Amino acid sequence: MEKQNRKGWLYLLPAFIFLGVFMIYPLVDVFVYSFEEGYNSASQTFYDTGMYNYSYVLHDPYFLQAVKNTFILVVITVPVSTGLALLISLALSSIRPLKELFQTVYFLPYVTNTLAVGLVFMILFKKTAYSDGLVNLLIHWFGGSSVDFIDGPYWAKMFVLCFYTVWVVMPFKILILTSALASVNQVYYNAARVDGTSRFRIFRKITLPMISPTVFYLIITGFIGAFKAYSDAVALFGTNLNAAEMNTIVGYVYDMLYGDSGGYPSYASAAAILLFAIVLTITCINLLVSRSHVHYS
């Protein structure tokens, strides 16, 4: 028996070492950091412990900007991407010819490098001295006046960020929703058709309740994912996100840690913990809401 015990732990050892060093220890440490005031990473010394780091972060205009940006991003992209993905998945599951081709095409953004393709979006939206860029060309065609989406007004930049974020998260949502729709037994649709149920009513009364667990799963993971947005913004606006007014909470954490304004792991820790607290709260609210609205068979 003693040998059995030893063997079990031996198999777990590598995983435990890695997790211990790179997950459990840092988890404790990040709280410690966040309470150490005036920490100096070169000398590894600090003056005092307390809430100062939190207070600093909460009063930092860059952090407030990042929080605002992140919330706008979440509030826009989660409903839009989930709704659009639902619409496209419904359309996909009602056709036969070309279905596989569409599914393959729609999945492409999942396997692309966010940074690399973000540059293409930047090119498409950017206005330079000698050319207005493609999107502005389209706007001209429809009689609008050109806007610089990359270095221009706040809402133009926010629009591109949201647009790109939706573009990036759609493949996953379409894939999950299409397979959820495929798992609804065809016999319910036949029954509804014989009874003359309209398309919209079939969707609202049969399809939606039956896939509601999947929809809520996507909403919850969508919220968590959108709160951690960062590399999409970097791809579009470059690494100096504070200057572009487009920073996100995660971006703020990394900037504090390392980057142009970096070298402050204490502030980074406090910001990271604040982010975690926000995400946890939102997820709990989501779960509470879902309990009363989701049908689990």
Report the site for another protein in 85-144 (rule: CB under 8 A): 87-88, 91-92, 94-95, 98, 102-117, 119-121, 123-124, 130-134, 137
Q: Which two tokens stand for residue 288?
A: 């509470």
User: Are the C-beta atoms of 251 and 241 separated by less than 8 Å?
Assistant: yes
Q: Residue 284 interacts with another protein (CB under 8 A)?
A: no
Tell me, what amino acid is at 140? H
Span interacting with another protein, options 2-10, 61-69, 152-160, 284-292, rule CB under 8 A: 2-10
Of residues 38, 41, 83, 291, which one binds another protein by CB under 8 A?
A: 41
Residue matched to tokens 């509470």:
288
Kindly state the tokens that stand for 176: 């999950």
For the chain, the maximum distance between any two Cα atoms, rounded to a whole number of angstroms, is 80
> According to the binding rule CB under 8 A, does residue 42 interact with another protein?
no
160 binds another protein (CB under 8 A): no
Q: Which of 40, 146, 239, 261 binds another protein (CB under 8 A)?
A: 239
Question: Which listed range, 54-62, 144-152, 164-172, 284-292, lies at the site for another protein (CB under 8 A)?
Answer: 164-172
Residue 272 is a binding residue for another protein (CB under 8 A):
yes
Does 258 participate in binding another protein (rule CB under 8 A)?
yes
Q: Which of 231, 261, 286, 290 binds another protein (CB under 8 A)?
A: 231
Residue 204 makes contact with another protein by CB under 8 A: no
Out of 67, 86, 219, 222, the residue judged to bind another protein by CB under 8 A: 222
d(CA 104, CA 189) in angstroms, rounded, equals 26
Number of residues interacting with another protein: please give it, by CB under 8 A: 115
Distance CA 291, CA 294 (A): 6
Measured CA to CA, the distance from residue 210 to residue 295 in angstroms comes to: 7
- Residue 7 touching another protein (CB under 8 A): yes
* Lookup: tokens for 246: 């487009």
- Residue 288 in the binding site for another protein (CB under 8 A): no
Separation in Å, CA 83 to CA 116, 166, 177, 216, 229: 27, 11, 11, 12, 19
x/- string (CB under 8 A) for another protein, residues 49-68?
--------------------
- How many other CB atoms sit within 10 Å of the CB of residue 107? 14
Residue with tokens 């806007």: 147
